[in-house]
């Protein structure tokens, strides 16, 4: 099935990117730690990184891909090959003008942005000033990522997922290089480290844009830069795009809200960042890949009035998302400290930092399935050019997040923010799924009815092993030597995966052997 082929392409690229991201965060934790410089850089990177996730991970494409796909079909039907090119040129002109204007305004009003993002920094003039300058350096990354999103959407519509999927790897490579210099030169928790990282982000944006533009030129599709005008097509894109960006990026908006509240607690921004990086690992591999691939597939079937195929595709996406997410969520919930200890506890990252970050990771973990299901349900709306309904649900989720965060923060500090993010995720996912079901656009087939309860049982049994297995392997998991900790986690993870796969095979949930054969054929290809 082409859907699974493209899913594995995007998923593998995201896996590789996230592995390099772990190396990056490992080095950052060791060399920079969780002090004021780390907080300042993470706030500076939060805004452009928010837009990177909003645009590069599917929210912009929620509006653009269906409209661009329609323009291609209309071009073929009317035998007018320039129609799609004309649409892309109009969008590019307005998009580029708006981005340049936004970037210019942001560079001028950076202190205001930092005040909104991190009001807690106002009490520390040095940290606030550093965050302002680092934000000015990193902000052009937003411009690059937004243009990359448009090129990626067109490549994905043509069925070319590889170039866009592998692009984010370049950011991690460049930041790893910058952190290597920081470590070798001994800059540590000093402003120099922040500037090296900020300029690394700036450079990575333009390198990624250049590489993707080169890949796009190979498609032979051409468009040109025009004078920006609000044409009918552009207005339609804006009408769909603004709600789509809000709806598709609700998880990131919730994280942003958490950053604002967490800035009032020392090192809380860093604790949430490192926890976020770990739960974003399975979310990136499964959820983002699912959203990127599912949207153009559903759009194509719906345009062809292939309702049954579209429904079957979404059912299988739902099933695959749960199978790949539930065991990861269970593991992160049960052994968060062990994961944090292995990944980050060294250098400037202390055991106390491990406990604080682990508590946030456990709170994030039980919301992980919801974040992935949002990526599964949202394309069902976007493919039908309905971006407003998900936007309304996203607004409800943000309201829940803010309310629960403010209620829990005085009691649990940064952990309360993580709990609120998970609660908001489940509220959003349930709203999306229930309304999609009521409209008849998501109908559980017999296979889903049979397999979901068995998936839940397999996850619960695997969780029993994870809990007792972690106790049995505790001498290795808490050992000061990295090799011992790695060996303990490798045993725990490999046995857990093997057990979950065996239980799924016995229960008839997934044919593991068939999946392995598909992966093997792809690797040979």
CA dist 507 and 129 (Å) reads 58
Contact 69, 382 (CB under 8 A): no
What are the tens digits of pLDDT across the range 139-159?
888 888 878 878 877 777 776
Q: pLDDT value at position 59?
A: 56
Q: Can you give the C-alpha Rg of the chain in angstroms?
A: 23
**Nearest to residue 34, comparing CAs of 454, 405, 352?**
352
CA dist 118 and 111 (Å) reads 10
DSSP E strand boundaries for 172-279: none
Note every long-range contact of 16-20, with CB atoms under 8 Å and residues 24 or more positions apart, other chains counting. Answer: 16/166, 16/169, 17/166, 17/168, 17/169, 17/172, 17/284, 18/280, 18/281, 18/284, 18/285, 20/169, 20/172, 20/173, 20/176
Q: pLDDT value at position 472?
A: 92
Of all helices (H) and strands (E), which one includes residue 223? none
Contact 95, 147 (CB under 8 A): yes
Mean pLDDT over 520-525 rounds to 44
Could you write out the DSSP letters of every residue in 354-393?
HHHHHHHHHHHHTTHHHHHHHHHHHHHHHTTT--HHHHHH
Q: pLDDT value at position 525?
A: 42
Of all helices (H) and strands (E), which one includes residue 327? helix 307-334
Calculate the average pLDDT of the chain.
Answer: 80
DSSP E strand boundaries for 410-520: none
Of all helices (H) and strands (E), which one includes residue 352? helix 351-365
Residue 518 in this model has a pLDDT that exceeds 50: no
Q: pLDDT value at position 252?
A: 63
H helix intervals, 413-445: 414-438
What are the tens digits of pLDDT across the range 84-137?
777 778 888 888 888 889 889 888 988 988 888 788 788 888 888 998 999 999
Of all helices (H) and strands (E), which one includes residue 413? none
Residue 468 in this model has a pLDDT that exceeds 70: yes
Contact 95, 146 (CB under 8 A): yes
Exposure string of 198-222, with b = 16+ CB inside 10 Å and e = fewer, is bebbbbbbebbbebbeebbeeeebe
Task: Compute the half-sphere exposure of residue 396: CA atoms within 13 Å on the CB side of its CA.
Answer: 15
Q: Which range among 75-84, 148-157, 178-187, 479-488 shows the weakest confidence by mean pLDDT? A: 75-84
Q: 325, exposed or middle or buried, with CB in 10 Å at 0-12, 13-18, 19+? A: buried
What are the tens digits of pLDDT across the range 314-355?
777 788 788 888 888 999 999 999 989 888 887 778 888 899
Of all helices (H) and strands (E), which one includes residue 115? helix 110-117
Rounded (10°) angle between helices 414-438 and 268-282: 40
Q: Which range among 342-346, 414-418, 442-446 shows the weakest confidence by mean pLDDT? A: 442-446
CA dist 459 and 264 (Å) reads 37
Give helix then strand counts, H and E, for the chain. Answer: 24, 0
CA dist 375 and 396 (Å) reads 17
Confidence of residue 5 (pLDDT cuts 50, 70, 90): low
Q: pLDDT value at position 378?
A: 81
How much of the chain is helix, strand and coil, in % rounded to 5?
85, 0, 15
Distance of CA 244 to the CA centre of its chain: 16
Q: pLDDT value at position 395?
A: 83
Mean pLDDT over 477-503 rounds to 88
| Higher local confidence (pLDDT), 19 or 486 | 486
CA dist 236 and 217 (Å) reads 26
CA dist 136 and 195 (Å) reads 11
Cβ count within 10 A of residue 315? 19
Q: pLDDT value at position 305?
A: 73
Rounded (10°) angle between helices 336-344 and 2-31: 70
| Higher local confidence (pLDDT), 509 or 205 | 205
Percent of the chain exceeding pLDDT 70 equals 82
Tokens of 432: 């999306």
Does residue 345 come out as left (phi exceeding 0), alpha (psi in the -120 to 50 range) or beta? Answer: beta
Q: pLDDT value at position 202?
A: 93
What are the tens digits of pLDDT across the range 216-256?
877 777 777 778 888 877 787 777 666 666 665 565 666 67
Cβ count within 10 A of residue 1? 11
Site of tokens 């972690």: 470
Q: Is the model's pTM score more than 0.75?
A: no
CA dist 374 and 327 (Å) reads 18
């Amino acid at each position: 099935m082409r859907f699974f082929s493209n899913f594995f392409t995007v998923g593998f690229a995201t896996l590789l990117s996230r592995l390099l991201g772990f190396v990056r965060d490992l080095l950052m934790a060791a060399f920079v730690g969780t002090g004021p410089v780390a907080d300042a850089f993470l706030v500076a990177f939060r805004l452009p990184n928010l837009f990177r996730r909003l645009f590069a991970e599917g929210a912009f494409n929620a509006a653009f891909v269906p409209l661009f796909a329609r323009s291609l079909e209309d071009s073929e039907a009317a035998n007018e090959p320039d129609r799609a090119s004309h649409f892309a040129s109009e969008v590019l002109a307005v998009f580029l003008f708006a981005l340049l204007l936004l970037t210019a305004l942001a560079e001028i009003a950076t202190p205001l942005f930092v005040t909104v993002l991190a009001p807690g920094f106002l009490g520390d003039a040095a940290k606030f000033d550093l965050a302002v300058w680092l934000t000015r350096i990193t902000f052009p990354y937003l411009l690059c990522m937004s243009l990359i999103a448009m090129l990626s959407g067109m490549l994905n519509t043509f069925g070319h997922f590889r170039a866009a999927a592998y692009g984010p790897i370049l950011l991690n490579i460049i930041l790893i290089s910058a952190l290597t210099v920081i470590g070798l030169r001994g800059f540590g928790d000093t402003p120099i480290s922040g500037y090296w990282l900020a300029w690394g982000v700036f450079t990575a944006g333009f390198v990624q844009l250049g590489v993707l533009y080169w890949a796009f030129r190979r498609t032979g599709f051409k468009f040109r830069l025009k004078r920006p005008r609000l044409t009918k097509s552009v207005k339609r894109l804006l009408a769909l795009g603004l709600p789509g960006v809000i709806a598709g990026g609700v998880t990131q908006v919730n994280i942003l809200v958490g950053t604002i509240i967490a800035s009032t607690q020392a090192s809380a921004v860093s604790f949430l960042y490192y926890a976020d990086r770990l739960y974003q690992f399975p979310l990136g591999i499964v959820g983002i890949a699912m959203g990127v691939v599912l949207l153009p597939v559903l759009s194509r079937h719906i345009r062809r009035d292939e309702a049954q195929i579209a429904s079957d595709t979404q059912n299988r996406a739902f099933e695959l998302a749960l199978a790949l997410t539930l065991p990861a969520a269970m593991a992160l919930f049960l052994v968060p400290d062990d994961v944090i200890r292995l990944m980050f506890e060294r250098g400037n990252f202390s055991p106390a930092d491990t406990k604080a970050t682990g508590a946030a990771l456990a709170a994030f973990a039980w919301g992980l399935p919801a974040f992935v299901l949002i990526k599964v349900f949202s394309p069902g709306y976007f493919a039908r050019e309905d971006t407003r309904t998900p936007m309304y649900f996203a607004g409800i989720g943000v309201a829940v997040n803010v309310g629960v965060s403010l209620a829990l923060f005085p009691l649990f500090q940064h952990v309360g923010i993580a709990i609120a993010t998970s609660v908001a995720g489940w509220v959003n996912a349930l709203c999306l799924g229930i309304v999609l079901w009521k409209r008849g656009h998501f109908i559980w087939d017999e296979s889903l009815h049979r397999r979901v309860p068995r998936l839940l049982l397999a996850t619960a049994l695997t969780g029993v092993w994870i809990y007792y297995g972690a106790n049995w392997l505790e001498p290795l998991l808490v050992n000061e030597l990295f090799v011992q900790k790695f060996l303990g986690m490798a045993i725990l993870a490999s046995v857990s995966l093997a057990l979950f796969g065996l239980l799924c095979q016995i229960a008839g949930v997934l044919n593991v052997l068939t999946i392995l054969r598909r992966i093997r054929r792809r690797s040979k290809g």
